[in-house]
Amino acid sequence: MQRGVRDEELLFLLFLLFFEVWLLPYDSEVGVLILFYDLYLHVATRDFFRYTLRMNIKGLIFDLDGTITLTQQFHYQAFSKVFADHGVKYTEDDDLFKYAGMGSGMIFPTVFADHGISLTDEQIKQYSSEKKEIYMKILEEHEILPVPGVKDFLKKITERGYQICIASGNKLEAIEYLLARVGVRDFFEIIVTNKDAKKPKPAPDIFLAAAVKLGLLPSQCVVFEDAVNGVQASESAGIRCIALTTRTPADDLRAAGADYIVQSYDDVRDEMIS
């Protein structure tokens, strides 16, 4: 059985190498992996690659808001203010279960379209800018708390040699600001945002891009998430997901496809990341 797993892993790597060589002049490495991902969805189920091809875990991919910092509610406050200013209702359930992690560039046109309003590219940029300004002001006015146990957990896993990165729909400026505010910026050399992905969560692109940045296969990674869209993105990417109940109920995270549910990093067991 073990020999068969190794053979399948080798086949996976050979296919990946072939596509990288063939398509590298056409697209970026991230694009190559995403194109390859689309192919393997047609030749095998996600569960086959997720479990049969699972190798030792070497990389841990972290969302930011609600996973590293307790800040997801500040996004909601900023979005709801902009939507209210332009005559559109945006509820906390909308934010929590539909749009968390998608990014302003997708949220604004989608929500307005749901209300029968089509936005121009200029309006999307304007509203996104308004949201960013409100959001950053909220951050400056509030204490930023880390998710319980995250600092000790990051110290432990880096000492053990895990490669780690951030993969968030937040803007790079805000990500770096928040990481610094809670004292964990030095842990993360690699930060992946929606600019590195063709599609936002719940599409798998941002986590596949993160795996590429780490130099690992998806099967060698674990994602830490707190939102339904993020869990679905991880599941679609074929990456094991540990979901934290910092804002979203456990039942919703489980229904989205989370492999493990924890309340804090103190609940993360070694077997979950090995």
- Residue 267 and residue 159 in one domain: yes
| Token pair in block for residue 255 | 């229904």
- Residue 65 and residue 23 in one domain: no
Question: Domain residues for 6?
Answer: 2-52
Helix (H) or strand (E) holding 243: strand 240-244
Chain segment 242-274, per-residue pLDDT in tens: 999 999 999 999 999 999 999 999 999 999 999
- Residue 175 and residue 187 in one domain: yes
Q: Which amino acid is at 183?
A: G
Chain segment 39-84, per-residue pLDDT in tens: 554 444 344 444 444 459 999 999 999 999 999 999 999 999 999 9
Chain segment 194-239, per-residue pLDDT in tens: 889 999 999 999 999 999 999 999 999 999 999 999 999 999 999 9
The per-residue b/e assignment along 7-44, b for 16 or more CB within 10 angstroms, e otherwise, is eebeebeeeeeeeeeebeeeeeebbbbbebbeebeeee
- Residue 168 and residue 201 in one domain: yes
User: Of 112, 141, 170, which closes a domain?
Assistant: 141
- Residue 82 and residue 45 in one domain: no
**What CATH number corresponds to the domain at position 86?**
1.10.150.240
Longest dimension (CA), the chain: 61
Crossing angle between the packed helical segments 29-43 and 2-23, to the nearest 10 degrees? 130
Which has the higher per-residue pLDDT, 40 or 155? 155
What mean pLDDT comes out for the span 84-92? Answer: 93
- CA-to-CA distance for 67 and 150, rounded, in angstroms? 8
Residue 64's closest CA among 159, 156, 150? 150
Number of other residues whose CB lies within 10 A of the CB of residue 190:
15
